[in-house]
Structure 1
Amino acid sequence: MLASDFLKKLGLLISFLLLVIGAHAQRSKSTSASKPLDCDEAMSQTELNRCAWERLERADRQLNTLYKRLIGQLPADSRALVVKAQRQWLLYRDAHCAYYDKTYEGGSMQPMVVALCKEATTLSRIRELQALLEEPH
């Protein structure tokens, strides 16, 4: 009888602890999600990964805006060439950065390193498209 009472009390204690831990985790998650991340102050690998992906997303938006502007200014035959080149460039970027993806596979730095590779390659492509915009059409 004593063992049965002990197990019931232990079960209640464990249930209570899981409830408290779950509530704390949920509160921490909602607090960190609502607070913007200052990438200049990023310290943890999770924060560094997130900042690298945010930088990639910014570069990607800039690239897409520039690409659309360029496409809108080109005659049809030139537009077809740039569209084909852009598709090939996307394949190149992904293949190039796959090396880093494989090299850092399973490591906590993997997302950051891949994002930094894609960002650098995207920034290079932005410079190329800006040069095309300056060419006479």
Structure 2
Amino acid sequence: MIFALLLALNAPCSDYSTTAEISECMVRHVKIKDLEVELQRQQSLAEIDLLGLPAAQQAALKDALQKSQTKWLSYRDAQCEFVAISYENGSGRGIAVASCLVDLNDARIEQLRKFSKEL
């Protein structure tokens, strides 16, 4: 059941066979993706510095990005909590939540990269 869930979710830890191994792998993968989101956010902030904008405009843009990030994190956590609740106490709950976090982190990384490219 867990392996089928991983395949359906296109999860990165499908090489593992036990629930414990898969869970450990997914926890590591979520941490990596959290770090990637943070690094991309920092990169976007650094790129704002390079635009040569007036100080007030630069500050407003950075503040807007920070607010966006805070609200996005709230959305991400709420969405993945929704996924958790839909699994009740099933054995695939933790893996489904981790997969949700990875997927939404990937989407945010892409959003931030797109933002940076459009600057």
Q: Work out which of the residue numbers 100, 113, 116 in structure 2 matches 1:117.
A: 100
Shift of residue 57, structure 1, vs aligned partner: 1.2
Q: Map Cα deviations across residues 4-43 of structure 1 (whole Å, 9 max, x no partner).
A: xxxxxxxxxxxxxxxxxxxxxxxxxxxxxxxxxxx56411
**123-132 or 71-80, larger mean C-alpha shift:** 71-80
Which residue is 2:4 aligned to? Answer: none
Q: Work out which of the residue numbers 59, 65, 68 in structure 1 matches 2:33.
A: 59
Q: Work out which of the residue numbers 74, 79, 101 in structure 2 matches 1:96.
A: 79
Report 1:42-53 matches (<5 A): 42-53=16-27
Shift of residue 52, structure 1, vs aligned partner: 1.5
Distance change (3 Å), C-alpha of 1:66 and 1:56 = same
Which structure has more relative contact order (CA 8 Å, sep 6+)? It is: 2
Shift of residue 116, structure 1, vs aligned partner: 0.2
- Where 1:50 maps in the other structure, the secondary structure is helix
The structure richer in helix per residue is 1
Which residue is 2:70 aligned to? Answer: 87
Provide TM-score, normalisation by structure 1: 0.67
Give the percent of matched residue pairs that are identical in Structure 1 and Structure 2: 26
Which residue is 1:35 aligned to? Answer: none
Shift of residue 48, structure 1, vs aligned partner: 1.0
After TM superposition, the runs of 4+ consecutive aligned structure 1 residues lying more than 4 A away are none
Q: Work out which of the residue numbers 64, 71, 96 in structure 1 matches 2:45.
A: 71
Shift of residue 114, structure 1, vs aligned partner: 0.2
Q: Work out which of the residue numbers 93, 105, 108 in structure 1 matches 2:91.
A: 108
Determine whether 1:133 maps to 2:116.
yes
**53-62 or 114-123, larger mean C-alpha shift:** 53-62
How many pairs are equivalent?
98
**68-77 or 124-133, larger mean C-alpha shift:** 68-77
Larger radius of gyration: 1
Shift of residue 90, structure 1, vs aligned partner: 0.3
The 8 Å contact of residues 14 and 22 in structure 2, kept in 1 or not, is answered as no
User: RMSD in angstroms over aligned alpha carbons?
Assistant: 1.3
Q: Which runs of 5+ in 2 are unaligned?
A: 1-12, 49-57
